[in-house]
Chain A
Amino acid sequence: MSRVEFMQGNAACAEGALAAGCRFFGGYPITPSTEIAETMARRLPKAGGVFISMEDELASIAAVIGAAWTGVRAMTATSGPGFSLMMENIGYAAMTETPCVIVNVQRGGPSTGQPTRAAQGDMLQCRFGSHGDYSIIALTPNSVQEMFDLTVKAFNLADRFRVPTFLMTDEIVGHMRERVTIPDSVEVTPRHPLAEGSLPFEAGDDGVPGFAPFGSGRSVHVTGLTHDERGYPDTTDPAAHDRLVQRLVAKVESARRDIADYEVVNPDARTVFVTYGPPSRTVEQVMRDHPDESVGHLRLRVVWPFPEFALEEFPNAKTFLVPELNMGQMVREVQRHVDRPVVLIPKIGGELHTPAELVRALEVHR
């Protein structure tokens, strides 16, 4: 059984979080993400959860990480300016292997920019925004249905890999309204508990330590300092730092194929659009209006870790076209993995590429 609703993207994200068992939300109002907080404020108390409006975004992500260490599924949602403020503690979440979900409903930047207009300008910040080396997982919905589905998925990935996981959406998907099917229950990946006799930050072959939330009697010391398998600071030994940070990166990067989620259309194509988020909707429109098997489409639902092997699904591709709502971010990933021309089709200002703009790009570059 399931129910069908006509719903806004941000509301669907909140519904997905609730379905996934999220029971803690810490946030700060910011356009165009606020409806997520508003929905959580309305729904969480009735679901036995906690909603708290924090004093700023630094505090929001901090409270989420604190709550996550009690074992609850926890989330925050924001947009560019708040995302920038969260960066230090996002690095802390990566370093401490705290499972949590961060939603960024992207708007035009830099700075305060365009609060009510869409952009995809934070894609590299999401991957590299905090200092130091680390890896994260980022998902990119292109519909209201995916706002629900990928939020659920984000919680499962966050738990499985003990890594901050991002839903990198935008004002268009966050504010548009579409039909969405909400199932009665969703698949929830169980956490891997810390085994008896294992140290709190001792990982198995998958690089992911078992999780002993606070209150489990394991007296876990959690620190953002470089630490050993016991969780104790070890800040000067080059080998200790190398071992820890290599593992933090490898546990995500080595699972790229497992985490990957993408759609392939017309694998024999000579010209291939590579998209994520709402520009994929325009590409879909173009392909409906102008059926042509020489034009392909790779649509990414997971952008980080970047699935470079997905580009190999198009062995005959001569050119890759990358429409993005920025001046060129994910296009760099495509460029560094193929030896054929990769053309950026940038668009900023807050509106999607029109089908005519993409048809024109096809005519020029095919």
Chain B
Amino acid sequence: MIAPDWFREDRLPHIYCTGCGNGTVINCTLAAVEEMGWKRDETVFVSGIGCSSRAPGYILTDSLHTTHGRALAFATGVKMARPDFNVVVFTGDGDLAAIGGNHFIHACRRNVDMTVVCMNNHIYGMTGGQGSPTTPPGAISTTTPYGASEPAFDLAELAVAAGANYVARWTSYHVKELTKAVAAGMQTPGLAFIEVRTQCPTNYGRHNKLRSVPAMIEHLRSHAMLVEKRDRLVREGRPVPEDTFTVGELVRRNRPAMGVRR
């Protein structure tokens, strides 16, 4: 078990469905926390609403499970009042990119020194599988029964454009890379944004011919393209397959940051 001291055992069993990718993301994040050597009483987990946002409730630290979309605003208050705390936000695609979109870009702009891990499962999972701002065009959900007709947000590129000091994207298949990316984000002063494309077999896969967990994870793996490879294709003037998304470290930089431990 990863970081056994960091789990609230009395909260088990958790609410996640069989095959959910969120547990993987929590494990990778806590592995990174262990690697950082953080102390439990100096670490605060913050979240909004949705499946992702139940994660802090299973972690044995001070934790703030807030309102839908507003986790980053609450976390900004925590971190600015106590820059000596380590602040980690768990969020999801609906929480972060729909109702919380404004807070997302402003948290990146301020570059508040915290780590934001987004479990992007392309769906509103907790409410039963409605289309979100990251539902791929054509995908079936309960509110896109004829296929999603809106373009999807690229959350990692949005964070880069908005100014976060560290941005990476991986999938729930890439557990080692993900753990390293979260740790790298924690080490970078300023806002670290790590998007994790993850599987929701219950409410996404079931409607999109990806009913089994391995099929969903394989789908994520096979559509992920390393940033370096994408860049090489672009350099060489070769086409980038349209249904792929980049994984890897998108940015690591040193813009002025707020709430950095003095």
Contact = CB atoms under 8 A, between A and B. Distances in A.
Q: Is the A/B pair a real complex?
A: yes
B103 A69 contact: no
Contacts of A92: 66-67
A58 B70 contact: yes
B83 to A, nearest CB: 9
B70 A214 contact: no
Contacts of A89: 66-67, 70
A215 B79 CA distance: 12
B60 A62 contact: no
Interface stretch (A149-157, A218-226, A238-246): A218-226
A70 B67 contact: no
A70 B40 CA distance: 15
B74 interface: yes
A63 interface: yes
Interface string A197-241: 000000000000000001111111111110000101100000000
B80 A215 contact: no
Contacts of B73: 54-55, 58-60, 62-63, 66
Interface in B62-94: 62-67, 70, 73-82, 85
A217 B74 contact: no
B78 A69 contact: yes
Interface stretch (B41-49, B143-151, B210-218): B41-49
Interface residues of A, number: 40
Contacts of B40: 219
A66 B65 contact: no
B56 A214 contact: no
A52 interface: yes
B11 interface: yes
Contact of A224 (B62, B63, B65, B103): B65
A137 B49 CA distance: 27
A223 B65 contact: yes
A34 B44 CA distance: 32
Contacts of A70: 77-78, 81-82, 85
Contact of A215 (B56, B65, B82, B102): B82
B112 to A, nearest CB: 10
18 contacts: A24-B80, A54-B73, A56-B102, A64-B77, A66-B74, A66-B77, A66-B78, A66-B79, A70-B81, A214-B44, A219-B62, A221-B57, A221-B62, A221-B63, A221-B65, A222-B64, A230-B10, A232-B57
Nearest 5 A/B pairs, CB to CB: A66-B77, A63-B77, A62-B73, A59-B73, A67-B81
Interface of B: 8, 10-11, 40-42, 44, 46, 56-57, 60-67, 70, 73-82, 85, 102-103, 106
